[in-house]
Amino acid sequence: MSYSYDDNNIFAKILRGEIPNDTVAESEHSLAFRDISPKAPTHVLVIPKGKYVSFDDFAANASDAEITDFMRLCAKVAKAEGVALDEGNGFRAITNAGNDGVQEVPHFHLHILGGRNIGPMLLMRE
Ligand code: 5GP
């Protein structure tokens, strides 16, 4: 997979303020906002502000500061949404990458899903 970044992807437009979003939390290097088509009572997307296409791009190429900031914001979101394990009932964190991962938006994002039992990890398909 190529790491060439498409500046016209929808999350790039959200980061530039060209498209509105329902922000849940923000940090120096990351943004968390509600998915426009939620699949669970809590469905938040956490994205880095930097131009990273996918999880592997982010994991390989982001700075330590960006990675730490991203992970801490994920924890903050889980807690704020009441799904973190200290007080809540749990959640699932998913990231899709590339064609086989069925990634729609080519800007790295982590889905945080909770508020109900999320079901089996994968729906098997032929
Ligand atoms: P992917 O399939 O790339 O992992 O997930 C992309 C997610 O982005 C989908 O869950 C989809 O509902 C969400 N999404 C697509 N366009 C928008 C948008 O304009 N705003 C928000 N908040 N979410 C979006």
Question: What confidence tens digit (pLDDT) does each residue in 75-115 have?
Answer: 999 999 999 999 999 999 999 999 999 999 999 999 999 99
Among 76, 41, 48, residue whose Cα is nearest residue 62: 48
What is the rounded distance in angstroms from the CA atom of residue 62 to the CA atom of residue 20? 26
Can you list the domains of the chain with their CATH numbers? Answer: 10-114 (3.30.428.10)
What is the rounded distance in angstroms from the CA atom of residue 76 to the CA atom of residue 82? 10
Among 107, 86, 104, residue whose Cα is nearest residue 39: 104
pTM for the structure as a whole:
0.96
Instruction: State yes or no: pLDDT of 25 exceeds 90.
Output: yes
Q: How far is the CA of 105 from the centre of ligand 1 (A)?
A: 7
Q: What percent of the chain has pLDDT over 70?
A: 98
Q: How far is the CA of 10 from the centre of ligand 1 (A)?
A: 8
Structure tokens at 108: 């790295």
Which H/E stretch holds residue 33? Answer: strand 30-34
List all residues whose CB is within 6 A of at least one atom of ligand 1: 10, 19, 21, 33-37, 96, 102-105
